[in-house]
């Protein structure tokens, strides 16, 4: 049996990133890799809870090219991802997060750290992370959504086979202002 998912970008979709001070980043590439700096964006917790209760699995899909560029380690990224999950506890499943799983891509073709300094099918706008999650979690792309703050997020969803109308960009340059507005739209959809 397949299930619907909402694929979520991490930085500036779930957590603050762009407005953080430079000292929040271990490198100059803008990927947050410090769990102490993780702050949920407004109403993200409520939006995630509503989506989860509506039957969607929440799957984070995030590029973390600062690993390839030497600005973070895999351990930094995993600790930051764990903090995001910790800030989104599932009240209906004690001890669990509202987030089903997090996939991240540490690769970047201009990186300097081997073996991550290559292009990779998981790096958005490629659909690799979405396709891996779909296989791992038995997800139904026809009823799933992709939400992110960048065009590469939307493109990754479309390349994976998600209906373009279900690939939504949030934030100042997006179709909707934030995840709460997206959740409301998803919950109104047939």
Greater model confidence, 190 or 60: 60
Q: Give the model's pLDDT for residue 25.
A: 58
Which pLDDT tens digit goes with each residue over 127-166?
Answer: 999 999 999 999 999 999 999 999 999 999 999 999 999 9
Which pLDDT tens digit goes with each residue over 45-74?
Answer: 999 999 999 999 999 999 999 999 998 999
Token pair, residue 102, equals 């997090």
Domains detected in the chain: 5-188 (3.40.50.1000)
Residue 9 falls in the annotated catalytic set? yes
Q: Looking at the predicted structure, is the pLDDT value of residue 111 above 70?
A: yes
Q: Residue 143: helix, strand or coil by DSSP?
A: helix
Contacts (Cβ under 8 Å, ≥6 apart) of 150? 9, 12, 124, 169
Residue 46 DSSP one-character state = H
Cα separation, 51 vs 183, in Å, equals 6
Which pLDDT tens digit goes with each residue over 88-109?
Answer: 999 999 999 999 999 999 999 9
Other C-beta atoms closer than 10 Å to the C-beta of 182 total: 23
| Cβ atoms of 62 and 102 closer than 8 Å | yes
- Record the pTM: 0.95
Q: Give the model's pLDDT for residue 19.
A: 77
Which strands make up the sheet holding 57-63, listed edge to edge? 99-105, 57-63, 5-8, 145-148, 167-169
Residue 11 falls in the annotated catalytic set? yes
């Amino acid at each position: 049996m397949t299930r619907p998912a909402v694929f979520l970008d991490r930085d500036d979709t779930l957590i603050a990133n762009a407005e953080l001070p430079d000292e929040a980043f271990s490198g100059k590439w803008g990927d947050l890799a410090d769990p102490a700096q993780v702050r949920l964006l407004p109403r993200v917790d409520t939006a995630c809870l509503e989506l989860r209760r509506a039957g969607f699995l929440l799957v984070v899909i995030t590029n973390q090219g600062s690993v390839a560029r030497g600005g973070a380690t895999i351990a930094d990224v995993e600790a930051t991802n764990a903090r995001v999950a910790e800030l989104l506890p599932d009240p209906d499943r004690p001890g669990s997060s509202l987030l089903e799983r997090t996939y991240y891509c540490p690769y970047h073709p201009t990186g300097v750290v081997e073996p991550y300094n290559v292009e990779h099918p998981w790096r958005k706008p490629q659909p690799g992370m979405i396709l891996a999650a779909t296989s791992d979690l038995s997800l139904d792309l026809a009823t799933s959504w992709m939400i992110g703050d960048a065009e590469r997020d939307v493109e990754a969803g479309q390349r994976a086979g998600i209906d373009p109308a279900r690939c939504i960009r949030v934030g100042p340059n997006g179709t909707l202002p934030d995840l709460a507005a997206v959740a409301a739209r998803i919950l109104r959809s047939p």
